[in-house]
Structure 1
Amino acid sequence: MTTEIHSLVGAYVLDAVDDIERASFERHLRECESCRSEVTELSETAARLADNTWSVPPPWLRENVLSEVGRTRQLPPVVDAAPPARTAPRWRRFTAAAAAVVAAVGAGSAVYVVQDQRVRDEQRVAEAARANEARIRTILAAPDVVLKKQDVSTGGRVTVATSRLHDAGVVILAAEAAPTGRVYQLWTIRPGGAPVSAAVLNEGQVADVVVLEGLPGATDVGLTLEPPKGSPTPTLPMVADVKLV
């Protein structure tokens, strides 16, 4: 088979091929064990991306908050028992009532501001997640995507997809549990330069999908075991070293 048919792996997984390309590639899959393996791995990654979509609060949250503030009764102040006092002048009663209204409106505004800021924060996070997912799909579906992979010595595998057309790559990590007190850390290595940290996983985290801009200029993607929160330089030996060139 030609190199062109192999390059359809990412586009096929993301359903970004036409009917003719799909039929041709499916015929190719029956003969190519390597492509079948890559389709399986990328399909699992695409499924994880779909499962991790963010949930954004509904647009009617603002109206509901304001409505609830209007219906919520303000509790009266607690006062000590005392003998009846003379009725305050009318202007004082009016001033007190106005102050109570201002306080109630202020409290309602504070509730709305907190809720509105929370909605804005969650919307920004959701938009960033959608943009990152779109970037991943674009790179994996690129016509020039090149896949490299290597087993992790502690168990699992690192797969790296690079596209010179998009000057970026996607690192897909699916590893076994790290030893107690250690986390996985990804590194990029460039000619003549020191390793640069690409991502530090949280304690107990064994899988990640990371977009790395400018990755085609690197020679290796490494994986090490580090203390929680990572290290400034890799702890050798690396548990995986994916050669890109």
Structure 2
Amino acid sequence: MTPTDVHSLVGAYVLDAVDDLERAAFERHVGECPSCRTELDELRETSARMADSTWSVPPPQLKSSVMAAVGRTRQLPPPETIKPERKLRGSRTQRWTLAAAAAVVLAAGTGTTVFAIQDQRVRDQSAIASAAELRQERIQSILASPDLVVRTSPMRGGGKVTVASSATRNASVVALGADSAPQSDQAFQLWSLRGDTATDAGVLAAGEGSAVQVVDGLPGNDGLGVTLEPAGGSKVPTAPLFAKVSLT
């Protein structure tokens, strides 16, 4: 890479548009070139100011305005007709113009990306809220069932588990409240119990000491068990049971 090539990298370097080899060469060069250091500092300041507005949606007319400005910009004459001192200034002006235009495009693109991310977050929050509302409606419908049966059991270490079951809904609402929450790498796990068989009925979040869960298919089983498992749950229950609610 020639010295001229290294000088021309200042705009691309500010916009992080260089490869590893070009970045290393320019960083070595800029330590020895006061002119490039000055231009680097000025262009960084300009790019930072132009990026101040990237957190808002770019105006629809931005692209047309930039393209119109490009059309009005006077082009420099061919290099052979320019005197050496003017050629240097022209080269630097061209680099500034290209870098500034790139910064504008970068800012516009960033703004659009941020808008898309924010829009997706709004959609995600809306979906979470809708799911929570449907879950609450289902809990209320189970608790309002005329055949509702409520049973409780104390928990090892303090607290209790309440199971409200509806055979017609074939579902139960399980409310667990422990006096002491598990450690951050452990979680309470629910099990439907039938004879000697225990089937996973849901795992609470790690470190969570209280929760309300809907368990489908629980009515008709012998009981509900609660164990303390590693975060994420286990395939088989770990003894001892922290609680057992009889459903028969």
Deviation at 1:219, TM superposition (A): 1.9
Judge conservation of contact 1:187–1:199 (CA < 8 Å) in 2: no
The answer on 1:116 being equivalent to 2:119 is yes
- With 191-200 and 215-224 compared, the bigger mean Cα shift is at 191-200
Partner of 1:228: 231
What residue ranges of structure 2 are gaps of 5+ in the alignment?
A: 1-54, 63-84
Partner of 1:61: none
Percent identity at matched positions?
Answer: 41
Deviations 1:146-165 (A, max 9, x none): 11111112211100011122
Tell me the distance in 2 between the aligned counterparts of 1:126 and 1:185.
25
The answer on 1:186 being equivalent to 2:205 is no
Judge conservation of contact 2:174–2:214 (CA < 8 Å) in 1: yes
Judge conservation of contact 1:151–1:240 (CA < 8 Å) in 2: yes
Deviation at 1:191, TM superposition (A): 5.1
Q: Could you say what secondary structure the match of 1:153 adopts?
A: coil
Which has the higher relative contact order, 1 or 2, with Cα contacts under 8 A spaced 6 or more apart? 1
TM-aligned CA distance change 1:194 to 1:179, over 3 Å: closer
Q: Could you say what secondary structure the match of 1:172 adopts?
A: strand
Deviation at 1:169, TM superposition (A): 0.9
Q: Alignment partner for residue 199 of structure 1, among 174, 199, 203?
A: 203
Q: Alignment partner for residue 66 of structure 1, among 57, 65, 75?
A: 57
TM-aligned CA distance change 1:191 to 1:65, over 3 Å: farther
Judge conservation of contact 2:182–2:209 (CA < 8 Å) in 1: no
Judge conservation of contact 1:178–1:225 (CA < 8 Å) in 2: no
Tell me the distance in 1 between the aligned counterparts of 2:97 and 2:242.
75
The answer on 1:132 being equivalent to 2:135 is yes
The one-letter code matched in structure 1 to 2:187 is: V
Judge conservation of contact 1:173–1:206 (CA < 8 Å) in 2: yes
The one-letter code matched in structure 2 to 1:217 is: G
Judge conservation of contact 1:199–1:210 (CA < 8 Å) in 2: no
Deviation at 1:93, TM superposition (A): 9.8
Tell me the distance in 2 between the aligned counterparts of 1:69 and 1:228.
49
Partner of 1:208: 211
TM-aligned CA distance change 1:101 to 1:193, over 3 Å: same
Q: Could you say what secondary structure the match of 2:174 adopts?
A: strand
Q: Where does 1:1-245 land on structure 2 (aligned, <5 Å)?
A: 65-66=56-57, 85-87=88-90, 101-178=104-181, 182-190=186-194, 193-203=197-207, 205-245=208-248
* TM-score in terms of structure 1 length: 0.57
Tell me the distance in 2 between the aligned counterparts of 1:129 and 1:111.
27
TM-aligned CA distance change 1:167 to 1:69, over 3 Å: farther
Judge conservation of contact 1:150–1:242 (CA < 8 Å) in 2: yes
Provide the alpha-carbon RMSD of the alignment. Answer: 3.5
* TM-score in terms of structure 2 length: 0.57
